[in-house]
Amino acid sequence: MPGPPRFQATTVQGCGLYPYTAGSGAPAIGVPIGRHMIFGEVVALDPIDWVRHNLTTNPGIFVLGEPGVGKSAFSKRLAAGMVAFGTGALVLGDLKGEYAGLVGRLGGQVVRIGWGLQRINPLDAGALGKAVLTLEATQPERARALHAEIRSRRLDLLLALCLIARGTRGQPITDAEELALGGALDILARDPSRQPVIPEVRDRIEAAGPEMHEAVLARSAGEYRQLTDGIARTLARIERGLLQGLFDGPTSTPADLGCPAVSLDIHALDNAADDIAAAALLCVWAYGFGAIDAARAVGDARPYLTIQDELWRSLRAAPGLVERTDRLTRLNRHRGIGSIITTHGLADLEALPTAEDQAKAKGLIERSAITVLGALPDLELARVHQVRALTTREREMVAGWSAPESWETDRPHPGRGRYLIKNAGRLGIPVEMHLTPAERELYNTDTAITGTTPQQRRPIKDAKATV
Q: What is the SS3 assignment for 215-230?
A: HCCCCCHHHHHHHHHH
The answer to whether the beta carbons of residues 157 and 123 sit under 8 Å apart is: yes
Average pLDDT estimate for 217-240 = 92
Average pLDDT estimate for 229-239 = 91
Of residues 170 and 195, which shows the higher confidence score?
A: 195
Q: Quick one: what percent of the chain has pLDDT higher than 90?
A: 34
Report the range of poorest mean pLDDT among 271-285, 294-308, 342-356: 342-356
In 109-209, alpha helices (H): 127-138, 140-166, 175-188, 198-207
pLDDT of 4 above 60 = yes
Q: In what order do the strands lie in the sheet with 418-423?
A: 42-45, 31-36, 429-432, 418-423, 370-373, 60-64, 337-343, 304-308, 88-94, 261-265, 109-112
Q: What confidence score (pLDDT) does residue 467 get? A: 27
Q: What confidence score (pLDDT) does residue 372 get? A: 94
Q: 3-class DSSP state for residue 457?
A: coil
How far apart CA 225 and CA 222 sit, in angstroms, is 5
Of residues 430 and 272, which shows the higher confidence score?
A: 430
For residue 432, which of 450, 448, 416 has the smallest C-alpha distance? 416
pLDDT of 429 above 90 = yes
Q: Cα-flanking dihedrals φ and ψ of residue 309, to 5°?
A: -105, 160
Average pLDDT estimate for 311-335 = 67
Q: Cα-flanking dihedrals φ and ψ of residue 180, to 5°?
A: -65, -45
- pLDDT tens-digit series, residues 299-311: 788 999 999 887 7
Bridge partners, residue 370, by sequence:
61, 423
Q: Identify the band that residue 463 occupies on the pLDDT scale cut at 50, 70 and 90.
A: very low
pLDDT of 177 above 70 = yes
Q: Chain-centre distance of CA 133, in angstroms? A: 30
Of residues 126 and 141, which shows the higher confidence score?
A: 141
pLDDT of 248 above 50 = yes
Q: What confidence score (pLDDT) does residue 144 get? A: 86
The answer to whether the beta carbons of residues 273 and 314 sit under 8 Å apart is: no
Report the range of poorest mean pLDDT among 137-141, 254-258, 358-362, 409-413: 409-413
For 14, other C-beta atoms within 10 Å of its C-beta total: 16
Q: What confidence score (pLDDT) does residue 459 get? A: 39
Q: What confidence score (pLDDT) does residue 329 get? A: 61
Q: Identify the band that residue 234 occupies on the pLDDT scale cut at 50, 70 and 90.
A: very high
Break the chain into its structural domains and give their ranges.
23-114+257-467, 121-250
Q: What confidence score (pLDDT) does residue 371 get? A: 92
Q: What confidence score (pLDDT) does residue 405 get? A: 64
The answer to whether the beta carbons of residues 153 and 290 sit under 8 Å apart is: yes
How far apart CA 261 and CA 23 sit, in angstroms, is 35
Residue 98: left (phi > 0), alpha (psi -120 to 50), or beta? alpha
Instruction: Write down the mean pLDDT value for the chain.
Output: 83
Q: How far apart are the first and last CA of the chain?
A: 53
Between strands 42-45 and 31-36, the pairing is antiparallel
Which CATH number among 3.30.70.1350, 3.40.50.300, 3.30.2310.20, 3.40.50.620 corresponds to the domain 23-114+257-467?
3.40.50.300
pLDDT of 323 above 80 = no
Q: What confidence score (pLDDT) does residue 231 get? A: 94
Average pLDDT estimate for 370-376 = 92
- pLDDT tens-digit series, residues 392-424: 999 999 999 987 666 666 667 788 899 999 997
Residue 242: left (phi > 0), alpha (psi -120 to 50), or beta? alpha
Q: Identify the band that residue 452 occupies on the pLDDT scale cut at 50, 70 and 90.
A: very low
